[in-house]
């Protein structure tokens, strides 16, 4: 994948940082965009220290002008963008509350980032992805989107819907669009912050008794952007241990 560029939003930490490491190891130049530019550059420096290629800089996925500039800068590295991972999103306890408690302002902010951020970044990257062999967009949804009952889940359900819409609209430009819906993934943050009772309750809903790990989501991403997935578009891959299984 030398000479190819992957852009990852929310790339300074968590899944985004892990995606950057995996794609850089596969030969992409990883461009990590995060609202915290210091974290983005620190993550990119980690990748470079391993002998791979990466750049990190600040960017708000809801800022149309900033994302247009960011995608142009990313495209300048290798003449275009080959992979876009729309990973940035709000998912803290603050945004997991009932709508009646959050109020309109927080719900609007949630949808601005989680939903319109996907639209903003995809539109900004599109001109630089057109006609690139194997070009691929991967959106990060959530198992919460398949289960209902929260504004956060509703925002991620919208991401699954946008995945189908963009898959249809971008197919003539040879761009595939898919999504990943993670279930309970025991990242360091989740292990430290999620109450044990909550982890046990969610795990009991899985078909598989094993723990979900960050590598399971990374492996799904690497598959979806690869030639092995060349005939897959418009799909949302549920990586949930069977928790969110459905037809």
> CA–CA separation, 84 vs 221, rounded Å?
11
Return the DSSP state at 185. Answer: B
Do 72 and 79 touch, CB atoms closer than 8 A? Answer: no
The partner residues of 182 in beta bridges, in order of sequence, read 239
CA angle 142, 28, 138 (to 5 degrees): 20
Return the DSSP state at 247. Answer: -
Do 212 and 186 touch, CB atoms closer than 8 A? Answer: yes
- For the record, the structure tokens of 4 come out as 């190819």
Which residues are known catalytic residues? 152
């Amino acid at each position: 994948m030398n000479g190819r560029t992957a852009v990852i939003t929310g790339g300074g930490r968590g899944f985004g940082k892990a995606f950057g490491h995996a794609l850089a190891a596969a030969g992409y130049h990883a461009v990590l965009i995060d609202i915290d530019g210091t974290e983005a550059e620190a993550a990119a420096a980690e990748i470079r220290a391993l002998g791979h290629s990466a750049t990190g800089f600040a960017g708000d996925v809801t800022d149309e002008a900033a994302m247009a500039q960011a995608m142009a800068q990313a495209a300048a590295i290798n003449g275009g963008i080959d992979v876009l991972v729309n990973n940035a999103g709000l998912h803290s306890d603050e945004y997991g509350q009932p709508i009646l408690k959050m109020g309109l302002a927080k719900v609007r902010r949630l949808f601005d980032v989680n939903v319109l951020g996907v639209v903003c970044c995809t539109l900004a990257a599109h001109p630089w992805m057109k006609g690139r062999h194997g070009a691929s967009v991967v959106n990060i949804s959530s198992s919460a989107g398949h289960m209902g009952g929260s504004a956060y889940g509703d925002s991620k359900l919208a991401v699954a819907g946008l995945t189908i819409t963009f898959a249809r609209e971008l197919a003539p430009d040879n761009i595939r669009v898919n999504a990943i819906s993670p279930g309970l993934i025991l990242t360091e943050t989740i292990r430290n912050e999620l109450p044990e009772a909550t982890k046990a309750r969610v795990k009991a809903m899985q078909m598989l008794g094993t723990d979900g790990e960050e590598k399971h989501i990374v492996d799904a991403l690497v598959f979806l952007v690869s030639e092995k997935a060349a005939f897959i578009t418009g799909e949302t891959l549920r990586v949930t241990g069977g928790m969110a299984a459905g037809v």
